Amino acid sequence: RQGYEDPHCQYPSASYRDYCAYQSHQWQPVAWQDDRDLRQGEPYRKSTNYQDQHYYRGYHPNLATAPLGQDRTQTYDSSEERYVSAARPEWTGAKTLGSDTGEASGQPREPSLLLQYRESGLSSSSHELSQYIHDGADQYDPMLPGTWSLAQAGGHLVSTPAPVVPLKFSLPHMAVCFGAGGQLVVVCPHYPAEGQLAHVELHSLEVILHDTKELEELRAFPGPLSREDLHKVDVMTFCQQKIATSCDLSTQRGRDSSLLWKLLILLCRQNGSMVGSDTAELLMQDCRHREKYKRQNPAANLIGLTDDEWMSRQPGTLDLITGEVPPVVETQAQIVEKFTKLLYYGRKKDALVWAMRNHLWGHALFLSSKMDPRTYSWVLTGFTSTLATNDPLQTLFQLMSGRIPQAALCCGDATWGDWRPHLAVMLSNKVGDMELNHRAIVTMGDTLAGKGAVEAAHFCYLMADIPFGYFGVKADRMALLGSSHRQAFTQFARTEVIQRMEIFEYCQQLRQPKSFLLPFQVYKLLYASRLADYGLPAQALQYCEQIATTLLGQDLASHPVLAQQVMKLAERLKLSDTLLLEMPEQDQMLEPDWLVQLRGFCREWEVR
């Protein structure tokens, strides 16, 4: 090292320099040992530890100048060979190392190179030095006998057992794990082997996480909803609280989310049944304001007039048929009177044009209906052209005409307007072709889903009785109510979404007590796991019982993995059952029947 004077460098003996070089190789971190004692001159193994490499480049020039990528084992092997070749001719029968260092002349022995490094402060770690500097007989003695040879030391070259892998923790630490009963298990850093008492602490996760938003969200839900002591008023109250706390009614998405919660309230109030008019009332009630749809004048080409003819028939010009000049401002009675005069002269088409131009659509439609079908269609098209494009009447007339309404293809756009009045008019005025009604509502849902309005799209799918699918099947339109299964799973299966889906299943069970949603059972298991993670094991076990009861009533062979996962979680939580507190002590180890049946099925399936 620069600025450090090595006292051993004053000896010119080549053999001693070789010995010093070998001795320096012995001083290295334990990580370089290969289950061998460094004091017996054993070979060394490679180490990729960066700190060890940096440490030795500071003290050993031959390591610092070694070519990049060279194996350090080669360096040590060459050093050992040089040491052996030099030791044979020069140390056999020669002076001892103590005479070279001045001990034979009575001078005090120079401290070892390792001790000088420690005293000079050049070592980067006192811990590393302590691995090699020992007291008493354990300290390495540099005094070598004059008749030393490798043959004499052959018996000591046998490797001694030593730990190869370093300790994972250098200091006592605390071990922590999570228990199945909603507890946090803490093992304190005590040493029972040394007389210290073992200390284990059990902490309730419910107490630790009492002020977190996630735990409050889990506590507020009155689940599982299959409980006998549950009243549907509790479910409706929860939905109303969600509307007040989670829905921002100033945004379109917040209003759509509020609409789903209101639909669940309606289903719960009416025991899971509803008709189109009920839903239409809910849709119009949720609208912030009734839009004003501006009516337009019928286009001239729709009533068979050119622009010149249209201008020639404006008020104030001479009427060639009657020979009269119509007044500039005509009253309703005058308009009807002229319509009648045109029919006096047999001018049906002119009477139709006059009625259409003055918005006498009742007269025009009745007269054209008694004429040929082409004329009736012409008048009807002229009438619909006066309505605004986004007018719900347009949607109704197009649906009644046997076409998919334009609103089903364009809704969800800010320029188009609110989608709810169009769905309301389709639900309340279903035409004879039920397939057309179903296709129009589904098309509207697909359009809304394509524009990111997931809650609105799912509302349409519910009205069209679209079944729920699975998360992995992207072709399915719904997996969880109000959540898109095309996003990440952590965002898709949020706690609020699972709770809303369970309320919908509960509403179906109010109408049909034995009904359930099979694709939803896996999300109940996920919800039960979250309850256990947040220190609510009793509720989690109730969810396991509900899922197991559902699966036992079905063909379990189609869902073996789900059954196994439910069984594993239930076995961990079975001691959290509140019924155990009421049982005699000798019966507390008994398992519930549903768990025994579920385990039997799982074992039978594994055997098959």
Whether residues 401 and 523 share a domain: the answer is no
pLDDT of residue 404: 93
From 46-50, 337-341, 583-587, the region with the lowest mean pLDDT = 46-50
CB–CB of 188/174 below 8 Å? Answer: yes
pLDDT of residue 17: 44
With a cut of 80, say whether residue 116 has pLDDT above it: no
What's the whole-number average pLDDT of the chain? 76
pLDDT of residue 83: 42
Asked if residue 590 belongs to a domain, the reply is: yes
CA 306 to chain centre: 63
pTM: 0.66
Confidence band for 103, pLDDT divided at 50, 70 and 90: very low
Q: What is the pLDDT of residues 228-277, one digit of tens each?
A: 889 999 999 999 999 999 899 889 899 999 999 999 999 999 999 888 78
Report the chain's C-alpha Rg in angstroms. 46
Confidence band for 21, pLDDT divided at 50, 70 and 90: very low
From 94-103, 269-278, 422-431, 576-585, the region with the lowest mean pLDDT = 94-103
Whether residues 510 and 408 share a domain: the answer is yes
Whether residues 418 and 485 share a domain: the answer is yes
| Tokens 């190392």 -> residue | 97
Query: Can you tell me the distance from the alpha carbon of 532 to that of 215, in angstroms, rounded to the nearest whole number?
Result: 11
Q: What is the pLDDT of residues 519-545, one digit of tens each?
A: 999 999 999 999 999 999 999 999 999
Mean pLDDT highest for which of 140-144, 154-158, 235-239, 585-589? 235-239
pLDDT of residue 289: 56
Query: Can you tell me the distance from the alpha carbon of 440 to that of 442, in angstroms, rounded to the nearest whole number?
Result: 6
With a cut of 60, say whether residue 19 has pLDDT above it: no
Percentage with pLDDT > 70 across the chain: 65
Confidence band for 109, pLDDT divided at 50, 70 and 90: low
Question: Between the CA of residue 7 and those of 112, 213, 306, what are the distances in Å?
Answer: 10, 70, 118
Last residue of a domain, one of 457, 490, 514: 514
Residues 468-492, mean pLDDT to the nearest whole number: 94
CB–CB of 570/544 below 8 Å? Answer: yes
Asked if residue 53 belongs to a domain, the reply is: no
Asked if residue 282 belongs to a domain, the reply is: yes
Classify strands 175-179 and 200-204 as parallel, antiparallel or unpaired.
unpaired
Q: Which residue has the higher pLDDT, 305 or 556?
A: 556
With a cut of 80, say whether residue 556 has pLDDT above it: no
Whether residues 552 and 419 share a domain: the answer is no
Q: 204 CB contacts (<8 Å, ≥6 apart)?
A: 182, 183, 184, 535
Confidence band for 161, pLDDT divided at 50, 70 and 90: low
Residues 440-453, mean pLDDT to the nearest whole number: 95
Asked if residue 195 belongs to a domain, the reply is: yes
Residues 53-75, mean pLDDT to the nearest whole number: 44
Asked if residue 304 belongs to a domain, the reply is: no
Confidence band for 294, pLDDT divided at 50, 70 and 90: low
With a cut of 90, say whether residue 462 has pLDDT above it: yes
Query: Can you tell me the distance from the alpha carbon of 127 to that of 124, in angstroms, rounded to the nearest whole number?
Result: 9
From 419-423, 428-432, 481-485, the region with the lowest mean pLDDT = 428-432
Query: Can you tell me the distance from the alpha carbon of 488 to that of 485, in angstroms, rounded to the nearest whole number?
Result: 8
With a cut of 80, say whether residue 390 has pLDDT above it: yes
From 3-12, 211-220, 316-325, 477-486, the region with the lowest mean pLDDT = 3-12
From 199-213, 274-288, 320-334, the region with the lowest mean pLDDT = 320-334
Whether residues 471 and 520 share a domain: the answer is no
pLDDT of residue 203: 92
Q: Which residue has the higher pLDDT, 477 or 192?
A: 477
pLDDT of residue 226: 84
Whether residues 400 and 445 share a domain: the answer is yes
Q: What is the pLDDT of residues 495-511, one digit of tens each?
A: 999 999 999 999 999 99
Whether residues 270 and 399 share a domain: the answer is yes
Please choose, from the candidates 178, 232, 169, the residue with its C-alpha nearest in 3D space to the C-alpha of residue 202: 178
- Helical segments of 157-302, H only: 205-208, 213-220, 232-246, 252-269, 276-286
Whether residues 534 and 587 share a domain: the answer is yes
pLDDT of residue 541: 94
Asked if residue 12 belongs to a domain, the reply is: no
Last residue of a domain, one of 479, 514, 549: 514
CA 6 to chain centre: 63
Query: Can you tell me the distance from the alpha carbon of 505 to that of 56, in angstroms, rounded to the nearest whole number?
Result: 70
CB–CB of 481/493 below 8 Å? Answer: no
Structural domain total, the chain: 3
Whether residues 484 and 445 share a domain: the answer is yes
State the residue range of the domain holding 419: 224-287+387-514
With a cut of 50, say whether residue 10 has pLDDT above it: no
CA atoms within 13 A on the CB side of 490: 0
Confidence band for 384, pLDDT divided at 50, 70 and 90: confident
pLDDT of residue 450: 94
From 75-89, 288-302, 385-399, the region with the lowest mean pLDDT = 75-89
Confidence band for 133, pLDDT divided at 50, 70 and 90: very low
Confidence band for 313, pLDDT divided at 50, 70 and 90: low
Percentage with pLDDT > 90 across the chain: 40
pLDDT of residue 470: 93
Asked if residue 421 belongs to a domain, the reply is: yes
Whether residues 398 and 501 share a domain: the answer is yes
Last residue of a domain, one of 514, 529, 552: 514
pLDDT of residue 112: 54
Asked if residue 247 belongs to a domain, the reply is: yes
Confidence band for 381, pLDDT divided at 50, 70 and 90: confident
Whether residues 489 and 541 share a domain: the answer is no
Mean pLDDT highest for which of 123-132, 134-143, 352-361? 352-361
pLDDT of residue 538: 92
Q: Report the DSSP beta bridge partners of residue 203.
A: 184
Whether residues 401 and 492 share a domain: the answer is yes
